[in-house]
Structure 1
Amino acid sequence: MNAIPPAVQPPVNDEIDLAALFHSLWEQKLLIALVTLLVGLLAAAYAFLATPEYQVQSMLRPAAIKDLDALNRTGVYELTPEQAMQRVGASLESYDSRLAYFRANPGLFEALRQPNRSLEQTFESFNREAFKMLQPDPKKIDSLSAYVGIQLTYPADVNGVTLVNGLVEHAIQAEREKIAADLQTVIQNRLNQLELKMAAARANYEASKDARIAELLEADSLKRAQLQDELKALRQQLKDRRDNRITQLDEAIRIAKALGIGKPTTPSALGEGERVAQGSVIRTEVNNQQIPLYFMGSEALEAERNALLQRRSDDFTEPRIAEIAKELQLLAHNRQVEVLNQRENEDLFLKDLAIWREEATRLRNLSVDVTELKLVSVDQVAVDPLRPVKPKKALILALGVVLGGMLGLFIALLRNGLRRGASRHHSDQSSLSS
């Protein structure tokens, strides 16, 4: 009995037959078109039913130098156009500044209000998503001039043009108020500093004047004490000299009485004794030795001694005593001290006081109208946009058709793959059964 050979398995062909694939897709063209149409309709529904969003922006550039000249000429506050623009830009970017504008103009944000959110929560969400600051890229140098701007993306029921222009004006006005406050603070600080300088100068002058008066009075007191000491010493010297003279006279009187000399005489005349003079005789004696005092005679000596004993003051015998009295009289009143004490307007003698007063007067009379100060040049104001930036209808429709077509093709390919798998399984089952 011959054995039956096993059935030969047909080779499996995994290669894709492009013609068959295209034919299969063509057979499913209605499915592909239907899916494409469905996705396209969904995209169109979104494009035409979604809330449109618009976009506006405002651009600021540095102001001219002349616009800030009035402020810079004050000499107490300097602000360059670039610095002013940066300050306004910082105010535009400031969350606090935007929130203040939001609170001051609730009507502009009424469309954004949600019943389950607070005012701050509503603004927080809007501020995070809607605003964008515009600045030149620091890595690029092709920008001809510096600028700063703000861009707002907003739904159709919000007045974005008024909101942006109002926010820019609010930021400029806020910076004006800050500059005005800073200017007043700087001026007041300068005035306080000048007042402190003048007060310190007056205190220093008073201390210097008091020190000068004390110095002059001390010098007068010292001079007066020295003159008093000199006067006392001179009077004591004169008294000792008089006492010594009296002692000498007492001794000479005793000698003269012992020699019997009553009248003034000379040694030669005393030696000749009594001689009768014939005719008129003139005697001349030449002697280089001092004649003893007792030759003056007791009568003259006693008269001189009595005069010395009766003397009450020896001041007249010394010219220096009169000079001391004159100097003491001059020291009784220090005219320089009197002049210093009699000064009525002492500010006239303060150094730099006139300069400080002039500066204080200038600062008090400074008048700068900061409310009209042009901090920036508004290069572009926000205007009503011609079309919304979202949604982009043409792009959404094109993407819907493309995605719909791709989805339809994917579904068709999937169905084709499932069919091929089912057909192959059926043929395999038929081969096994035969």
Structure 2
Amino acid sequence: MSDKNQPQQPPQSQQPPIAGYYPYPMFQAPKNDEIDLFDLIAQLWKKKHWIIGCMLITTLLAAVYAFTAKEQWTATAVVDAPSFETMDNYYQGYRLLEGNVEKPTSSEEVADKLFKQFISLAGSYNELSKFVSGSDYFKKLAEGKDEQSRARLLNDIIDNVKLTKEKDSSIYSLSFPAATAIEAKNLLEKYVSVVNSNISKTQYAQLTTQIENKKQTLKNQMDAIKNIAEEQRLEEIQNIKMALTVAEKTNIQKPEITSLTKLDNNSLFLLGKDALSAMSQGIEKQPLVMSDDYYDLQRQWINLNNFKVDRADAKGFSYLKSPMEPIDRDKPRNGLILVLGCLVGLIIGTCFILINNVLVSYRIKTNV
């Protein structure tokens, strides 16, 4: 048989694959432009001195900032409505002004009123600006600054003063910042004292004015009742004198009345000259007879006149936590700044090495 008739064997490279065997590898080798993680770590480790150097430099810069930056300390006080002892005098005056009412105001309501006014004034920008700008602390910081810089400094201080209300409570927290712990405490104490003094001065001045106005009103009412009583007595005297004149003309010496006689101004002469003369003399000499309303007004006037307004120990608030020197400073936070400085150095050093490697690889590729 000739070679042409012989069956031809396929080339070895075209042999069908054997079951379970693959002539090509399962995974392709990484391309030149792909990043090998292990190679990256090795490169970073090789140039760790660069990274450590960057970390030292940034940490040093952070340390310089941390230990030279302006410090801020914040003192905090917690306040609530005033106790009865600190507003006793005010409440007594308030109740005297109310007089005899069906539902008098309670001491808790008066305390709440004073406390709301205290909080309103403490949170007032004008009140805070007036206090800060007049303090020795601000004058020392603003020394040598122009008007615009002084205004900016004043706003910065005021913006850091916080008055916050606790949730579902009548309690407030008041915080005051300063460059030192003792200055923060002193400023907070003085500010609370100034606000309380202004509230007390205003409220007790109003109370004094209201008491004087009330006394004048009561006096006017008493005078009106007294004038009416005087007019009634004069009218009664006039009626008796007219009846006496009639009795003299009719020569009625003794009473001529019976149990059925109805006495009025027209029949008063029937009492006779003797009785009418005695009545006339008695009415002119006896004091005026006043109604119960007159004596009630008089009692109120006497109580108000004897009341002495005293705001020596008056307070529109009570301390739940008095101002104290803060233990921890707000800023700068040295530990956090140093840690961030170290991290920034780590990031900068790593990025520098990665960028440098990319540039080197690019140059090699372009030269090939």
TM over 0.5: yes
Shift in Å, 1:119: 10
Amino acid at match of 1:178: T
Shift in Å, 1:213: 8.6
Amino acid at match of 2:219: E
Q: For residue 177 of structure 1, what is the aligned residue in structure 2?
A: 201
Between structure 1 and structure 2, the one with the greater Rg is: 1
Q: Identify the match of residue 106 of structure 1 among 117, 135, 140.
A: 135
Separation (CA, whole Å) in 1 of partners of 2:333 and 2:149: 31
Separation (CA, whole Å) in 1 of partners of 2:112 and 2:360: 73
Q: Identify the match of residue 382 of structure 1 among 323, 330, 337.
A: 323
Q: For residue 335 of structure 2, what is the aligned residue in structure 1?
A: 394
Separation (CA, whole Å) in 1 of partners of 2:154 and 2:233: 67
Separation (CA, whole Å) in 1 of partners of 2:290 and 2:149: 65
Q: Is 1:159 aligned with 2:183?
A: yes
Matches for 1:75-224 after TM superposition, within 5 Å: 75-76=95-96, 79-80=107-108, 81-102=111-132, 106-114=135-143, 115-117=145-147, 121=151, 124-138=154-168, 146-156=170-180, 159-202=183-226, 204-205=228-229
Per-residue CA deviations over 1:133-166 (Å, capped at 9, x if unaligned) read 132123xxxx7xx422311221239822211111
Q: For residue 363 of structure 2, what is the aligned residue in structure 1?
A: 422
Whether the 8 Å contact between 1:209 and 1:340 is mirrored in structure 2 is: no
Q: Identify the match of residue 28 of structure 1 among 26, 34, 47.
A: 47
Q: Is 1:369 aligned with 2:307?
A: no
Per-residue CA deviations over 1:251-285 (Å, capped at 9, x if unaligned) read xxxxxxxxxxxxxxxxxxxxxxxxxxxxxxxxxxx
Q: Secondary structure at the match of 1:378?
A: strand
Q: For residue 257 of structure 2, what is the aligned residue in structure 1?
A: none
1:149–1:336 Cα change, 3 Å: farther
1:129–1:383 Cα change, 3 Å: same
Whether the 8 Å contact between 2:237 and 2:284 is mirrored in structure 1 is: no
Q: For residue 301 of structure 2, what is the aligned residue in structure 1?
A: 360
Shift in Å, 1:387: 4.3
Separation (CA, whole Å) in 2 of partners of 1:195 and 1:102: 47
Separation (CA, whole Å) in 2 of partners of 1:13 and 1:41: 39
- Residue identity (%): 20
Separation (CA, whole Å) in 2 of partners of 1:171 and 1:337: 66
1:342–1:39 Cα change, 3 Å: same
1:414–1:90 Cα change, 3 Å: same
Amino acid at match of 1:413: L
Shift in Å, 1:338: 6.5
TM-score by length of 2: 0.68
Q: Identify the match of residue 41 of structure 1 among 57, 60, 66.
A: 60
Whether the 8 Å contact between 2:74 and 2:329 is mirrored in structure 1 is: yes
Separation (CA, whole Å) in 1 of partners of 2:55 and 2:41: 18
Q: Secondary structure at the match of 2:87?
A: helix
Amino acid at match of 2:220: L
Amino acid at match of 2:159: E
Shift in Å, 1:395: 0.5
Whether the 8 Å contact between 1:60 and 1:380 is mirrored in structure 2 is: yes
Separation (CA, whole Å) in 1 of partners of 2:225 and 2:131: 49
**Which is further off, 204-213 or 384-393?**
204-213
Separation (CA, whole Å) in 2 of partners of 1:192 and 1:425: 105
Amino acid at match of 2:92: R
Separation (CA, whole Å) in 2 of partners of 1:424 and 1:23: 21
Gaps of 5+ in 2: 1-29, 98-104, 247-268
Separation (CA, whole Å) in 1 of partners of 2:316 and 2:192: 12
Shift in Å, 1:362: 0.8
Gaps of 5+ in 1: 1-10, 224-326, 428-434
Shift in Å, 1:422: 2.3
Separation (CA, whole Å) in 2 of partners of 1:128 and 1:101: 10
Whether the 8 Å contact between 1:202 and 1:350 is mirrored in structure 2 is: no
Q: Secondary structure at the match of 1:151?
A: strand
Separation (CA, whole Å) in 2 of partners of 1:125 and 1:412: 45
Q: Secondary structure at the match of 2:312?
A: helix
